[in-house]
Structure formats: C-alpha cells, structure tokens
A and B are shown apart, each in its own frame.
Chain A
C-alpha cells in the first residue's frame, strides 16, 4: 500500500457520505498502526480480500453514527440486525468502489458484520494495518486497511 492507494480509499469514504447523507465526512490523517493498537467501535463490517491482493478491510463505527445513517436510508428501526446490516453494507460499498482503481483482481468477500470487539479476526501478521479515521456528524469512525499486493 502506498499513499496513492490510501487516497483511493479516502475518496471512496468521502463519496459515500456525500452521496448517502449530503453531508461531508471529515477525513483525518491516515496512519500505520499495530494489530494490538487497533481501536474498534460498537459495530464493524469486515471484508476479506483475495486475488492479486490479499488481506482484509473493515469499517468500524459507533451505534449513533449507524443509527443516523439508517435514518438517511429511510430505515427507522434501529435493531441490531439493521445496525449490523448497515455496517456490513458500508464495508462492502467502500471495498467494492475501490475496484474501480484496483481492478477486478481485487476480489472482495461478502461482508461479515460483528458487534463489539473483533477479537477473532486475524489479519496477516506481517502486514501492518493502515487506519483512516473519519468524523461525520460529530461521530468518529475508522476504515482499517490491511492488504498487500501479491503481484
């Protein structure tokens, strides 16, 4: 992953929030983290990456952010099922949109949505994850990217 690759994900995040909510998300400076130091919020949507690339991407967000997004989508039932669906769909959309730049060999899995700590997810240990922090409507969330190019 290089700076241009990270910029692609920043663009997809900005586009997503603008398109869905007509409100801009403020994107913070991306940073390289450690597996131990990764923060996660109330809900996370995880996508496995295969093909020419490998690893995983996940979007993690607090409950209030997801509730607001559900309202933006016309859904007023904020049960766990819907919150998990929402966070998985965001992860799917951000990863899928990145294929415009990475190509069809950037193969994405169906999303796995998790409530609470994502203790059981083990990204490749030799890869350090990049974290892209964002703030939308006063709520913080993160997109975490842990992928390598096998080409």
Chain B
C-alpha cells in the first residue's frame, strides 16, 4: 500500500511521516510528500499512491481542488483530509469531491492511525 503526504507545513509533513513509520499498519510505504496541490497532482501521476493525506489550506492549488484532480487521475485513490478547517460545510465539500475521511488539526498519533486504519478497511471491504 502506497501513501502520499500533502501539506504545506514541513513540520506537519514530518509528523505524519513519523506516525506512519511507527504505525502498526502493515505494508504501508510513503511514496512521496508534496507541499501544495500542484506538487501533489504531479506526484500522484508519477507514483500512483493508493492513499493520500490532504491538507486544505495550501498555496498554488488548494486541497479541495486538488482532491478533484487526484480523483480524475485515479478514481480509486483513498483521500484522508487532515486540515485545521473544522466547519461542516468544508468537510461536506471535501467528501463530495471524493475524500473518504476527515480529521482536524491539531491531531494526535492515535487519531491519525485510527483514521488511516478505517480508510484501509474501506479499501478491503470494496
């Protein structure tokens, strides 16, 4: 299982990377990290990840638009939004565009692990 990390903060990208590396989730490999939507689209075309985390407030191309682009490239991609934007309308819009899960910053290791596990269960049930 290949995962991509998308966030404009290097600190957050590092935190997510560390959580995934220490995770008990089996067979998960980080294929790359992107600091904005344009990089994410490019990386997705090159590496075809199965899962991606997705920040929403980013320069160049925001997360909501990026979700739509990634789904066009790979309709099967599982997208977990990891964002500080905690209003209901934003979450609904992200889900409409093709996201499968949403966790709010600030998040704990446990919350991210649980959200990723749930996403993989979706994949396994499909």
Interface residues of A (CB under 8 A from B): 15-16, 19-20, 70, 73-75, 81-82, 85-86, 88-89, 92-97, 99-100, 102-104, 106, 108-110
Contact indicator per residue, chain B 48-67, by CB within 8 Å of chain A (1) or not (0): 00000000011100000000
Provide 28 A-B residue pairs closer than 8 Å at the C-beta atoms, listed in order of the A residue: A15-B106, A19-B108, A20-B106, A74-B18, A75-B11, A81-B10, A82-B10, A82-B11, A85-B10, A85-B11, A86-B11, A89-B9, A92-B57, A92-B105, A93-B105, A95-B84, A96-B83, A96-B86, A96-B105, A97-B84, A99-B85, A100-B86, A100-B87, A100-B88, A103-B87, A104-B90, A106-B87, A110-B59
Q: Is the CB of A110 within 8 A of B106?
A: no
Take A92-B84, A95-B84, A99-B85 as given contacts and tell me if A19 and B106 are in contact as well, using a CB distance cutoff of 8 Å. Answer: yes
Query: Main SS of the interface on chain B?
Result: loop
Q: Name the contact of A70 in the complex, choosing from B8, B11, B104, B105 (C-beta under 8 A).
A: B11
How far apart are the CA atoms of A86 and B14 in the complex, in Å?
12
Residues of B within 8 A of A86 (CB): 11
What's the A-B contact tally at a CB cutoff of 8 Å? 68
Contact B85 A110 (CB under 8 A): no
Which residues of B sit under 8 angstroms from A96, Cβ to Cβ?
57, 83-86, 105
Q: How far is the CB of B46 from chain A (nearest CB, A)?
A: 25
A89-B12 in contact (CB<8A) = yes
The contact size tier of chain B is 20 to 34
Q: Is B126 an interface residue (CB 8 A)?
A: no
User: Which residues of B sit under 8 angstroms from A85, Cβ to Cβ?
Assistant: 9-11
